[in-house]
A and B are shown apart, each in its own frame.
Chain A
Amino acid sequence: MLEYEFMRTAFLAAFLAALVCGPVGWFLVLRGQSFASHALSHVGFAGAAAALLLGQPALLGLGLGAVGGGVAIGLAGDRLVGRDVTIGLVLSVAMGFGALCLHFLTHSASSATALLFGDILGIGSSMLGWLGALSVTCLMALAFVARPLLFASLQPEQAEARGVNMRLLDILFLMIVAVATAQCAQITGVLLVFTLMIAPAAASLRMGFSPLLGMGVATLLALLEAWLGLVLAWYTNCPTAFWIAALGGSVFIAASLFCRVRGS
Chain B
Amino acid sequence: MPSSAVQVAGVTLLRQKKAVLDNISFTVPAGSFVAVLGGNGAGKTTLFRTLLGLEKPSAGQIWIEGQPVQKGRMPIGYMPQVRAMVAAQISGWSTVAAAQQGWKWGLPFYGKQARADIDAALAAVDAQALAQRPVGSLSGGERQRLMLAQALLDNPHILLLDEPLVSLDPARMRETAERIHTLARDRNMTVLMSTHDINPLMGLMDHVLYMAHGKAVLGRVEDVMTTQTLSALYGAPVEVIKAGNRLFVVAEGGGASLQSCMCMGHGA
List residues of chain A with CB within 8 A of the CB of B76. 161
A211: Cβ under 8 A from any B Cβ: yes
In the complex, the answer to whether B134 meets A154 with C-beta atoms within 8 Å is no
Question: Closest residue to B101 on the A side, CB-wise?
Answer: A147
B91: Cβ under 8 A from any A Cβ: yes
Q: Mark A130-148, 1 if CB is under 8 A from B, else 0.
A: 0000000000000111111
B71: Cβ under 8 A from any A Cβ: yes
In the complex, the answer to whether A264 meets B87 with C-beta atoms within 8 Å is no
In the complex, the answer to whether A147 meets B105 with C-beta atoms within 8 Å is yes
A55: Cβ under 8 A from any B Cβ: no
In the complex, the answer to whether B87 meets A148 with C-beta atoms within 8 Å is no
B244: Cβ under 8 A from any A Cβ: no
A158: Cβ under 8 A from any B Cβ: yes
Of the listed stretches A79-87, A108-116, A121-129, A202-210, name the one at the interface; the rest are far from the partner chain.
A202-210
B54: Cβ under 8 A from any A Cβ: yes
In the complex, the answer to whether B99 meets A144 with C-beta atoms within 8 Å is no
B73: Cβ under 8 A from any A Cβ: yes
Question: Closest residue to B89 on the A side, CB-wise?
Answer: A208
Question: Closest residue to B51 on the A side, CB-wise?
Answer: A161
Known contacts A30-B86, A208-B90, A264-B134; is A147 also within 8 Å of B54 by CB? no
In the complex, the answer to whether A161 meets B87 with C-beta atoms within 8 Å is no
In the complex, the answer to whether A163 meets B94 with C-beta atoms within 8 Å is no
List residues of chain B with CB within 8 A of the CB of A154. 85-87, 90, 95, 98
Which residues A129-177 have CB closer than 8 A to chain B? 143-148, 150-155, 157-164
Q: How far is the CA of A174 from the CA of B73 in the complex (A)?
A: 27
- Tell me, rounded to whole Å, the shortest Cβ–Cβ distance linking A139 to chain B: 11
Q: How far is the CA of A191 from the CA of B179 in the complex (A)?
A: 53
Known contacts A205-B89, A264-B89; is A161 also within 8 Å of B78 by CB? yes
Q: Name B102's contact: one of A150, A206, A208 (CB within 8 Å).
A: A150
Q: What total count of A-B pairs have CB within 8 Å?
A: 105
B237: Cβ under 8 A from any A Cβ: no
Number of interface residues of B (CB under 8 A): 34
- Tell me, rounded to whole Å, the shortest Cβ–Cβ distance linking B222 to chain A: 33
Q: Name A163's contact: one of B90, B98, B103 (CB within 8 Å).
A: B103
In the complex, the answer to whether A205 meets B87 with C-beta atoms within 8 Å is yes
**Majority secondary structure of chain B interface residues (helix, strand, loop or mixed):** loop
Q: How far is the CA of A162 from the CA of B78 in the complex (A)?
A: 9
Known contacts A147-B108, A210-B94; is A158 also within 8 Å of B89 by CB? no
Question: Closest residue to A160 on the B side, CB-wise?
Answer: B54
A31: Cβ under 8 A from any B Cβ: yes
A212: Cβ under 8 A from any B Cβ: yes
Q: How far is the CA of A30 from the CA of B147 in the complex (A)?
A: 18
B137: Cβ under 8 A from any A Cβ: yes
List residues of chain A with CB within 8 A of the CB of B90. 30, 154, 205, 208, 210-211
B243: Cβ under 8 A from any A Cβ: no
B240: Cβ under 8 A from any A Cβ: no
How big is chain A's contact interface, by range?
A: 20 to 34
Known contacts A143-B107, A153-B87; is A148 also within 8 Å of B102 by CB? yes
- Tell me, rounded to whole Å, the shortest Cβ–Cβ distance linking A155 to chain B: 6
Q: Name B104's contact: one of A147, A157, A205 (CB within 8 Å).
A: A147
Q: Name B99's contact: one of A143, A155, A160 (CB within 8 Å).
A: A155
List residues of chain A with CB within 8 A of the CB of B71. 163
List residues of chain A with CB within 8 A of the CB of B2. none
Q: How far is the CA of A157 from the CA of B84 in the complex (A)?
A: 13
In the complex, the answer to whether A264 meets B103 with C-beta atoms within 8 Å is no
Question: Closest residue to B79 on the A side, CB-wise?
Answer: A158
In the complex, the answer to whether B99 meets A148 with C-beta atoms within 8 Å is no
List residues of chain B with CB within 8 A of the CB of A143. 106-107
Q: How far is the CA of A32 from the CA of B82 in the complex (A)?
A: 18
Which residues A184-233 have CB closer than 8 A to chain B? 205-208, 210-212
- Tell me, rounded to whole Å, the shortest Cβ–Cβ distance linking B44 to chain A: 14
List residues of chain B with CB within 8 A of the CB of A212. 107-109
Q: With a 10 A CB-CB cut-off, give which of B72, B87, B91 has the most chain A CB atoms.
A: B87
Which residues B60-75 have CB closer than 8 A to chain A? 71-73
List residues of chain B with CB within 8 A of the CB of A155. 80, 95, 98-99, 102, 147, 150
Known contacts A145-B105, A148-B104, A151-B102; is A207 also within 8 Å of B87 by CB? no
Question: Closest residue to B137 on the A side, CB-wise?
Answer: A264
In the complex, the answer to whether B105 meets A208 with C-beta atoms within 8 Å is no
Interface CB pairs A-B, < 8 A, 27: A143-B106, A147-B104, A147-B105, A148-B104, A153-B87, A154-B85, A154-B90, A154-B98, A155-B98, A155-B147, A158-B80, A158-B102, A158-B151, A161-B54, A162-B72, A162-B78, A162-B99, A162-B102, A162-B103, A163-B71, A163-B103, A164-B102, A164-B103, A205-B90, A211-B98, A212-B107, A212-B108
